[in-house]
Every structure is written in structure tokens, then in C-alpha cells.
Amino acid sequence: MRHFHHALGLATFVLASLGTAQAHQVWLENNGGQAQLFFGEFNDNLRETSPGALDKFLATPTLAQQTASGTQQLSGQRNATGFSYNAASQAQTLFASAAYPLIDRSKRDEPALLWVPAARWVATPAQAVAANAQALDLVPTGTPGQLMVSFNGMALPKTKVQIVAPSGWSREAQSDEQGRVNFALPWKGLYVAEVHHSHKQGGEAQGKSYGEASYVTTLSFSVEDGMPSPALPAAAKP
């Protein structure tokens, strides 16, 4: 989700050459306990499918579900348009991190890239949620319209966050020294916010070495009060 969206042809090229690391994200939607993890571009109404790019993931991500009684790990299954889960109707928040193959950049004489897409859903943006201490995360603080960015449990200042409504309406903000950003939420319906973070330190994953890691995490939630949002754009073909 960026103002300078790639055209679909360029996105297809990136899918082929960089394994979607620069073009796509994952995000969660939850309808009364029927949770779905999608892969694509929310603001372009693009959802990758299976058979297809959805099959690139190494496994079906596990969904961490938090309710008033604690945290549970939920298994899901891959379907034609994403990964589906049976969540509790009283779930307060859901979080998933998806494992993607290391991206080979040897033709550019660069070390392999670890791409780490993750997604969080919250039942209400007005309730504070604790951040994941081992991930790039974006959570509501409890103050209306305020979110906090963190990486491995530490606030992430001066980081760009973009938020998008179903119509494609979007706004950007940069986090302050405490990792906080503030947005007006004028529309009813689903919002998806996105944050990126590059970590230049290499390591090992999937039994191989990588030179740096690129993280992208989304936060999705619905707003009940506000103006009716225009309809989604026509679905893009993956």
C-alpha cells in the first residue's frame, strides 16, 4: 500500500523476480469467527490464488488468537483465495506471520533477502493491544485513531505508516519518538494499515544464510460509526 502503486504488469514482474517482497502484503479479515488471511494488495482489491502465487508460502501460517481467557494457537487451511481459520467469536485480536522462501538476489550480486510478511486483526481500534515482542507489529494504543509501531518489542520511531479504507482512500503518517501515529477514521467499514521495516543484519533461516531482512506488517479493523465508504474497486486479476 503506497501512493506510488506498481502497475499490475510491474507487480507481476516483481512476483517473478523478487518473490513479491516489494509488491505485496498479507492481511487478516474476520467475519464472526470466520477468519481469512489474504495475500495480495488490499487497496487494489487483489487477492492471490491457489493454484498460483499463494502456493509459494512454505506452510499454512499459525494464527495466534487472544481472548479474555488467554492466547491460543489456531491451525488453518489453504483455500483458493487465502488461508482460513475458525476463530472464537469473542476474539480480541489475531496475529499471523507467514513463512516465505528466501529471495535469491545473486544475479544482482546481493545476498539473499528474508521477507517476513505478518498481519494483525483487532476487534476494535479503541482497545489497547499488546504488541508481539518478536515481530514488527502495529497495534492500537487505546486512544481513538492512535496506533503504535514496534519491532521486537521496542517502539519504532520515524517510521512511515499508511492506512487505507475499502474505497482506496488513504493517508500516511510518520511515527513519533514513542512509535505512535494518529489517523482520522472518517469511514465506516474495514481499514488496513501497513508498516515496513528493513533490518540490515543478516542471519540464517530455512537452513540458509541471508544478508538482510525486510518486514511488512498490516493491521486490520472495522469502524462502525462514520460516513458510508464508497464501494471497493473492481477486483484486480492476479
For 98-138, write each residue's pLDDT tens digit: 999 999 999 999 999 999 999 999 999 999 999 999 999 99
pLDDT at 235 exceeding the cut of 90? no
Whether the Cβ atoms of residue 133 and residue 172 lie closer than 8 Å to each other:
no
What CA–CA distance (Å, rounded) separates 47 from 155? 31
pLDDT band at 19; cut points 50, 70, 90: very low
On whether residue 234 sits in a domain, the answer given is no
Question: What is the total count of domains within the chain?
Answer: 1
On whether residue 172 sits in a domain, the answer given is yes
Of residues 163 and 235, more confidently modeled:
163
Domain, as residue range, for 75? 8-223
Q: Using DSSP, how many helices (H) and how many strands (E) does the chain show?
A: 1, 19
Mean pLDDT of 88-97: 96
On whether residue 97 sits in a domain, the answer given is yes
Hey, is 214 helix, strand or coil?
strand
Residue 237's pLDDT is 63
On whether residue 136 sits in a domain, the answer given is yes
Express as a percent the part of the chain with pLDDT over 70.
87
pLDDT band at 173; cut points 50, 70, 90: very high
On whether residue 238 sits in a domain, the answer given is no
